[in-house]
Amino acid sequence: METKPMRPIRLAQDGRTVEVIDQRQLPHRLEMLSLDTVAQVIEAIQQMVVRGAPLIGVTGAYGVLVALRTTDDEAAFLEACAQIKAARPTAVNLAWAVDRVVACAMAAPAGTARQAAVLQEAGRIAEEEVDNCRRIGEHGARIIADISRAKGGQTVHLLTHCNAGWLACVEWGTATAPVYVAREMGIDVHVWVDETRPLNQGARLTAWELGRAGVPHTVITDNAGGHLMQRGMVDLVVVGTDRTTFTGDVANKIGTYLKALAARDNGVPFYVALPSSTFDWQLQDGLADIPIEARHADEVHWVQGATRDGPARVRITPADSPAANPAFDVTPARLVTAFITERGVCKPDRADIAALFPEKVQ
Ligand code: MRU
If pLDDT is split at 50, 70 and 90, which confidence band does 3 have?
very low
- What span, in angstroms and rounded, lies between the C-alpha atoms of 30 and 24? 10
* Peptide bond before residue 54 is cis, with ω within 30 degrees of 0: no
If pLDDT is split at 50, 70 and 90, which confidence band does 307 have?
confident
- Three-class DSSP category at 188: coil
For residue 174 and ligand 1, the question of a CB distance below 6 A is answered with: yes
> Percentage of the chain surpassing pLDDT 70?
99
| Beta pairing class for 310-315 and 302-307 | antiparallel
The residue-averaged pLDDT of 298-303 equals 98
The residue-averaged pLDDT of 55-67 equals 98
For residue 49 and ligand 1, the question of a CB distance below 6 A is answered with: no
Find out whether 201 is annotated in a ligand binding site.
yes
Least confident of 12-21, 62-71, 96-105: 12-21
Sign of the C-alpha dihedral computed for residues 210, 215, 220 and 225 taken in this order: negative
In DSSP terms, which residues pair with 305 in a beta bridge?
Answer: 312
Q: Is 242 a catalytic residue?
A: yes
Q: Residue 64 class from Cβ within 10 Å (0-12 exposed, 13-18 middle, 19+ buried)? A: buried
Residue 203 carries which DSSP code? I
- Three-class DSSP category at 212: helix
- What span, in angstroms and rounded, lies between the C-alpha atoms of 237 and 172? 18
Find out whether 212 is annotated in a ligand binding site.
no
For residue 51 and ligand 1, the question of a CB distance below 6 A is answered with: yes
For residue 275 and ligand 1, the question of a CB distance below 6 A is answered with: no
- Ligand 1: nearest atom to the Cα of 52: 12
Find out whether 135 is annotated in a ligand binding site.
no
If pLDDT is split at 50, 70 and 90, which confidence band does 156 have?
very high
Residue 354 has pLDDT above 70, yes or no: yes
If pLDDT is split at 50, 70 and 90, which confidence band does 4 have?
very low
- Ligand 1: nearest atom to the Cα of 91: 12
For residue 53 and ligand 1, the question of a CB distance below 6 A is answered with: yes
The residue-averaged pLDDT of 295-307 equals 94
- Residue among 50, 51, 328 whose CB has most ligand 1 atoms within 8 A, to mutate: 51
The residue-averaged pLDDT of 160-168 equals 98
The residue-averaged pLDDT of 37-52 equals 98
Q: What is the mean pLDDT of the chain?
A: 96
pLDDT at 263: 99
- Could you give the ipTM of this predicted complex? 0.99
* Catalytic residue, candidates 242, 249, 280, 329: 242
Q: Do 218 and 192 form a contact (C-beta atoms < 8 A)?
A: yes
> Percentage of the chain surpassing pLDDT 90?
94
pLDDT at 274: 98
For residue 279, the CA-to-ligand 1 centroid distance in Å is: 14
Residue 108 has pLDDT above 50, yes or no: yes
- Residue among 9, 45, 163, 204 whose CB has most ligand 1 atoms within 8 A, to mutate: 163
pLDDT at 5: 58
For residue 144, the CA-to-ligand 1 centroid distance in Å is: 22
pTM (predicted TM-score): 0.97
- What span, in angstroms and rounded, lies between the C-alpha atoms of 60 and 35? 11
* Peptide bond before residue 27 is cis, with ω within 30 degrees of 0: yes
